[in-house]
Amino acid sequence: MELIFLGTSAGVPTRSRNVTAMLLDLQHPTRGGLWLFDCGEGTQHQLLHTTYHPGKLDKIFITHLHGDHLFGLPGLLCSRSMAGNANPLTIYGPAGIAEFVETTLRLSGSWTDYPLEVIEITDGQVFDDGAYRVIARPLNHPVECYGYRIEEHDKPGTLNAAALIADGVRPGPLFQRLKQGETVELEDGRMINGQDYLSAPLPGKTLAIFGDTAPCPGAHELAQGVDVMVHEATLETAMEEKANSRGHSSTRQAARLAQEAGVRKLIVTHVSSRYDAHGCKNLLAECREVFANCELAEDFTQVSV
């Protein structure tokens, strides 16, 4: 999986940072998959600076309905339609997202020429297609807000073809069934269990992407043991009380969550516009004092999961 940050500023854009949006390229060998998490104003403009096209998007996940996470959505939906794209798109988000999409399209005299489904989520599993599962948990913010945990299902182990041949099983269609862990009957009447010839399953990748939040129990559930955690760090540690009063986290709180949850890598984003490049270096230093394997995302930062 590849994560591409399209916007990393909190509240308002700056000269160097747009407001929140993240692309997740699943890079699945057969099904592909391009997902967008949040869609702040100007997201479609940011996409123009990448190799990705809006028509390739098949899912959009909105964390909450504050404008810096949402106001780019109507334009993106309309541009996708005007390009003549017919690929279906599903939007997930909190209560009110369906009304927002329907109202903005209706009042602007706009429409979509592709199948569009809008699903309003609650706490729990959002979907599971057999390859990936997405779980949502409510966060601590003034409006209904969610974080998302993306889990890739474990991949089957490698089939030991040499051992099968040594046991008298000839290569052919049976190998494919055995690779799926099935039990098959050979021509001589023997029963062969594919599980006996498979190596251990390959663990799938895990990723947690947070909306805006002050520390809360749901955050620990989302973050537990993930390969990469994307978390806001709106303000420095000295302004922690102010951050929390507005439903945000400080650098230290984001890093402490990563440490306590046993994540492998922390990416902090959603940086207040009060911080220039020097200020951002200080934010990152504060995070690394608590959790060393941490990066502060810039617009167009790419992270492999």
Is 129 catalytic? The answer is no
Q: Spot the catalytic one: 25, 68, 188, 196.
A: 68
Predicted pLDDT of residue 195 = 85
- Tell me whether residue 141 is annotated as binding: yes
- Tell me whether residue 68 is annotated as binding: yes
- Tell me whether residue 64 is annotated as binding: yes
Question: What tokens does 236 get?
Answer: 């420095």
- Asked if 88 and 117 touch (Cβ cutoff 8 Å), the reply is yes
> Would you say residue 10 has pLDDT above 80?
yes
Q: Where are the alpha helices (DSSP H) in the chain?
A: 43-47, 73-82, 97-107, 161-166, 173-179, 217-223, 240-245, 251-261, 277-290
Res. 93 pLDDT band, cuts 50 70 90: very high
Chain centroid to CA 177: how far? 33
Domain boundaries, the chain: 2-155+202-304, 162-197
> Would you say residue 31 has pLDDT above 80?
no
Predicted pLDDT of residue 197 = 87
Predicted pLDDT of residue 142 = 97
Question: Which carries the bigger pLDDT value, residue 186 or residue 50?
Answer: 50
Distances (CA, A) of 305 to 75, 200, 207, 248, 296: 29, 21, 8, 25, 16
Three-state secondary structure readout of 73-134:
HHHHHHHHHHCCCCCCEEEEECCCHHHHHHHHHHHCCCCCCCCEEEEECCCEEEEECCCEEE
Classify residue 35 by its DSSP letter: E
Question: What tokens does 184 get?
Answer: 């098959």
124-128 and 116-120 strand pairing = unpaired
- Tell me whether residue 220 is annotated as binding: no
Question: Which carries the bigger pLDDT value, residue 246 or residue 84?
Answer: 246
Query: In 3-state terms, what secondary structure has residue 147?
Result: strand
Average pLDDT, the chain: 94
> Would you say residue 29 has pLDDT above 80?
no
Predicted pLDDT of residue 28 = 83
Cα(267)–Cα(140) distance, integer angstroms: 19
- Tell me whether residue 270 is annotated as binding: yes
Class of domain 2-155+202-304: alpha beta
Q: Is 199 exposed, middle or buried (0-12, 13-18, 19+ CB in 10 A)?
A: exposed
Q: Return the minimum-mean-pLDDT range out of 146-150, 173-177, 214-218, 287-291.
A: 173-177
What is the arithmetic mean of pLDDT over 179-196? 85
In this structure, what are the phi and psi dihedrals at residue 17, rounded to the nearest 5 degrees?
A: -135, 130
81: left (phi over 0), alpha (psi -120 to 50) or beta: alpha
Q: Is the dihedral of CA 90, 23, 212, 216 positive or negative?
A: positive
Cα(265)–Cα(251) distance, integer angstroms: 15
Classify residue 160 by its DSSP letter: -
In this structure, what are the phi and psi dihedrals at residue 10, rounded to the nearest 5 degrees?
A: -100, 130
- Tell me whether residue 212 is annotated as binding: yes
Chain centroid to CA 32: how far? 15
Predicted pLDDT of residue 155 = 81
What is the arithmetic mean of pLDDT over 17-45? 93
pTM of the model: 0.90
